[in-house]
Amino acid sequence: MKLILTQEVSNLGAPGDVVEVKDGYGRNYLMPRGFAIRWTRGAEKQIDSIKKARSVREVNDLGRAQEIKAQLEELQVSVPAQAGGSGRLFGAVTVSDIVSAVKSSGGPDIDKRRIFLGKPIKSLGSHQVTVKVHDEVSATVNLEVVPSS
């Protein structure tokens, strides 16, 4: 099955890429979640608009990516969350929470699709989060989850 990716899919491609996948993977996973659309000659015209949007979001310059990495790694980011007496959260810290916390602590705008959590953050304390700033540059953000008042 030939598809056009609308979002970045790990180990498959970036938005605007035309990929060939097995029918079940495309029909049951990629298309229902909005990660891809079926390739047709008409949909081929949408690739340009998808790639333009992608280039606006991406950091193209390696030097600029290094600057953003330095900014992110020196930030002290704290995320308030509701927690019980034992320090376990009522829920988890989401990627959107991390983006807003980085922004409120004076950091640069980052795309939430570029943040990778090794495992869900479900406890108070210090955690590390990886942000893929550029294809060759990744930053590690120190995140402090504190109880909300």
User: Do 15 and 34 contact (CB within 8 A), yes or no?
Assistant: no
- Do 69 and 86 have their domain in common? yes
CATH of the domain at 28: 3.40.5.10
Greatest CA span in the chain, whole angstroms? 58
What is the edge-to-edge ordering of all strands in the sheet holding 138-147?
77-81, 138-147, 125-132, 115-116
42, 57, 72 - which closes a domain: 57
Span 19-78, pLDDT tens digits:
999 999 999 999 999 999 898 888 877 787 777 776 666 656 677 788 888 888 888 899
Domain coverage including residue 108: 62-147
Considering the domain architecture, whether residues 92 and 132 belong to the same structural domain is answered as yes
Q: Under a CB-based contact definition with an 8 Å cutoff, are residues 5 and 13 in contact?
A: yes
pLDDT value for 146: 92
Same domain, 24 and 50: yes
Q: Is the pLDDT of residue 135 over 80?
A: no
Count of structural domains, the chain: 2
Average pLDDT, the chain: 86
Q: Does one domain contain both 105 and 134?
A: yes
> Given this model, what pLDDT does residue 33 score?
93
Per-residue pLDDT at 65: 81
Quote the CA–CA distance of 143 and 115 in Å, as a whole number.
12
Burial of 60 from C-beta contacts in 10 A (0-12 / 13-18 / 19+): exposed
- Residues 72 and 125 both lie in one domain: yes
Instruction: Specify the CATH number for the domain of residue 134.
Output: 3.10.430.100
pLDDT at position 117: 87
pLDDT at position 137 is: 84
Percent of the chain residues past pLDDT 90, beyond the cut: 38
* Whole-number pLDDT of residue 60: 61
Is the domain of 42 the same as that of 82?
no
